[in-house]
Amino acid sequence: MGADQFIAARVSSETKARLKAVAAREQISESALIKRVIELAVPQANPEDLISAVPPPQVRSCRITIRIRPEDLRLLQARAQARGMASATYISVMVRAHLRSLAPLPRDELIALKSAIAELSAWGRNLNQIVRAITAGTLPRADLLPPMEATIKVCTALHAKFKELLQANLRSWKRGSSDEKSA
């Protein structure tokens, strides 16, 4: 049976490099290696069995094709890459954010926010311990001032950091890249 169909897939640079290395070691082309892997992975099986083993893809409701200038494409690609997204995904997120007045957090900013929230939770637990110690009478009033001042200082700093993070997020989605500063 002749090969009359073509299969294409996008992979990371690391995956491509590993594929190239394995193909070179086997002294075959990358295409021949991929064909061998597919033939091993997709044996002569009932197509229904293969389909039920793979979860259905997430279907989007519609597709839009746009034309943009080359210089805009370069900016789009740079901004999408800065956010760790494909260009089409970046456009989709931007349109959705604009239409619904949303300001989605990029992955790095979301991680920073989650970290700050965890820190604030830890301080909340510390405050509870201080209150319990005061209530139980095990913490004299003289020892109360330094931990309370430290707690207030940390909470104030976290409040400022949250506010700064959210403002930077809003600015970055309006302007493009998360590393751009507003005037």
Same domain, 95 and 130: no
70 band by pLDDT with thresholds 50, 70 and 90? very high
* Within-domain flag for 13: no
Cα 76 to Cα 81: distance, rounded to the nearest angstrom: 8
Cα 172 to Cα 179: distance, rounded to the nearest angstrom: 7
Same domain, 120 and 165: yes
Same domain, 75 and 117: no
Q: What does each C-alpha distance from 128 to 56, 121, 132, 135 come to in angstroms?
A: 48, 11, 6, 10
Cα 154 to Cα 61: distance, rounded to the nearest angstrom: 46
Cα 162 to Cα 168: distance, rounded to the nearest angstrom: 10
Same domain, 166 and 113: yes
* Within-domain flag for 182: no
Is residue 176 within 8 A of residue 75, CB to CB? The reply is yes
Mean pLDDT of the chain: 76
Which range scores top for mean pLDDT: 26-30, 68-72, 107-111, 139-143? 68-72
Same domain, 79 and 123: no
* Within-domain flag for 57: no
pLDDT in tens, 80-128: 887 778 898 888 888 887 787 776 776 677 777 778 778 877 877 887 7
* Within-domain flag for 6: no
pLDDT in tens, 125-152: 887 787 777 777 777 666 676 777 787 7
Same domain, 31 and 80: no
Same domain, 30 and 79: no
Q: 119: domain range?
A: 107-175
* Within-domain flag for 122: yes
HEC sequence for the chain: CCCCCCCCCCCCHHHHHHHHHHHHHHCCCHHHHHHHHHHHHCCCCCHHHHHHHCCCCCCCCCCCCCCCCHHHHHHHHHHHHHCCCCHHHHHHHHHHHHHHCCCCCCHHHHHHHHHHHHHHHHHHHHHHHHHHHHHHCCCCHHHCHHHHHHHHHHHHHHHHHHHHHHHHHHHHHHHCCCCCCCC
Unique residue bearing structure tokens 């901004």: 79
Same domain, 33 and 92: no
Q: Tokens for 89?
A: 């995904």
Domain count, the chain: 3
